[in-house]
């Protein structure tokens, strides 16, 4: 599979302009292109009314735009957008191919002010077929919860597409661990630039998008402040092999019966006294 990340600098509220910029940046001869979180609208909404005015249903014009682009380039797209579903608004990611919507994910772990604006995701962590590949979706702050990537990996994901709007400095390095501990490919598509739409609440996005192998190798890395196209060729066989040594298998060696949290009982107390 040939994968690309578009590290973009969206202009807040300028949806048509942002989509036009994405169209101009699209590389040829790729199988999957991953874009940042909320890549069509920008991130720093002043209030729920503003967010609702820019949100769209999962079958709306943005998904239609990416479907047309997928047909034109014979590829698929994973991207973040503000999804309107009835009276609720979700911070969502879509996987779209030439025939339309392949999969939808709604952000489970909301970050900071997102908790005041978006409904918590209710679809769980699901894996979607894309040709010979199985692709999982997560968004930005999900990175800090290892359960998110592990759930996708246990469900069969070989590649985790990870749209992001990162402002904290730790994710890019942490995703090496997420890839390594699950033996999956990870594609974190971050944005660059900044937004200052609230008094005293300016945001600076950290760029540094990355494509990482199941062995923890950084296959491609973006700058901290420039729009860029990152490219890498990846092989599904690497993500199917969970062996760490000849005698160790990453998933077969798990001991889930011992991972439950238990309060110390009488037997535990006896053992610790002996």
Task: Supply the CATH number for residue 224's domain.
Answer: 3.60.110.10
Q: At what angle do helices 171-182 and 146-154 cross, to 10 degrees?
A: 30
Q: Is residue 268 part of a domain?
A: no
d(CA 184, CA 143): 14
Question: Is residue 10 assigned to a domain?
Answer: yes
| Number of Cβ atoms within 10 Å of the Cβ of 264 | 9
In order of 4, 115, 257, the CA distances from 1 in angstroms are 10, 36, 36
Residue 134 lies in a domain: yes
The residues annotated as belonging to the active site are: 37, 107, 140
Total domains in the chain come to: 1
- Smallest CA-to-CA distance from 33 within 98, 111, 82, 83 is with 98
Residue ranges in the chain assigned as alpha helix (H):
15-25, 48-54, 61-73, 114-117, 146-154, 171-182, 236-240, 266-273
In the predicted structure, residue 269 carries a pLDDT above the cut 70: no
pLDDT tens for each residue of 50-82: 999 999 999 999 999 999 999 999 999 999 999
User: Residue 175 falls within a domain, yes or no?
Assistant: yes
Residue 260 lies in a domain: no
Provide mean pLDDT across the span 239-254: 95
pTM for this predicted structure: 0.94
141 belongs to a structural domain: yes
Q: What is the DSSP letter of 138?
A: -
CA atoms of 203 and 164, how far apart (whole Å): 14
Q: Lowest-confidence range among 95-109, 112-126, 233-247?
A: 233-247
Give the model confidence (pLDDT) of 121-174 as tens digits. 999 999 999 998 999 999 999 999 999 999 999 999 999 999 999 999 999 999
Q: Report the mean per-residue pLDDT for the chain.
A: 95
Assigned domain for 266 exists: no
Q: Which domain holds residue 219?
A: 2-249
Confirm if 119 and 151 have CB atoms less than 8 A apart: no
8-65 tens-digit pLDDT = 999 999 999 999 999 999 999 999 999 999 999 999 999 999 999 999 999 999 999 9
**Does residue 264 belong to any structural domain of this protein?**
no
**DSSP assignment of 166-229, as one string?**
--SSSHHHHHHHHHHHHT-EEEEE---SEE--STT--EE-----EEE-TTS-EEEE--SSS-EE
Coil vs helix vs strand at 4: strand
């Amino acid at each position: 599979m040939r994968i690309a990340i578009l590290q973009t600098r969206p202009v807040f509220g300028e949806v048509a302009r942002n989509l036009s910029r994405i169209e101009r940046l699209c590389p040829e001869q790729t199988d999957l292109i991953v874009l940042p979180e909320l890549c069509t609208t920008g991130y720093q909404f002043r209030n729920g009314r503003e967010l609702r005015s820019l949100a769209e249903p999962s079958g709306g014009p943005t998904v239609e735009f990416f479907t047309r682009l997928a047909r034109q380039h014979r590829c698929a797209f994973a991207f973040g957008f503000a999804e309107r579903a009835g009276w609720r608004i979700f911070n969502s990611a879509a996987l779209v191919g030439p025939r339309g919507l392949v999969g939808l994910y709604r952000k489970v772990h909301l970050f900071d002010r997102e908790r005041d604006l978006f409904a918590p995701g209710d679809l769980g962590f699901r894996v979607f077929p894309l040709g010979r590949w199985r692709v999982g979706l997560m968004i930005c702050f999900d990175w800090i919860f290892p359960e998110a990537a592990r759930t996708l990996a246990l469900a069969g994901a070989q590649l985790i597409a990870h749209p992001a709007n990162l402002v904290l400095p730790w994710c890019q390095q942490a995703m090496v661990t997420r890839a390594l501990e699950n033996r999956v490919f990870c594609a974190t598509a971050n944005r660059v630039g900044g937004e200052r739409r609230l008094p005293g609440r300016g945001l600076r996005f950290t760029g540094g998008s990355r494509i990482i192998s199941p062995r923890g190798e950084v296959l491609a890395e973006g700058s901290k402040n420039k729009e860029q196209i990152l490219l890498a060729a990846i092989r599904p066989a690497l993500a199917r092999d969970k062996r760490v040594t000849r005698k160790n298998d990453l998933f077969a060696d798990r001991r889930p019966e011992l991972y439950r949290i238990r309060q110390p009982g009488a037997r535990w107390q006896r053992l610790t006294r002996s």
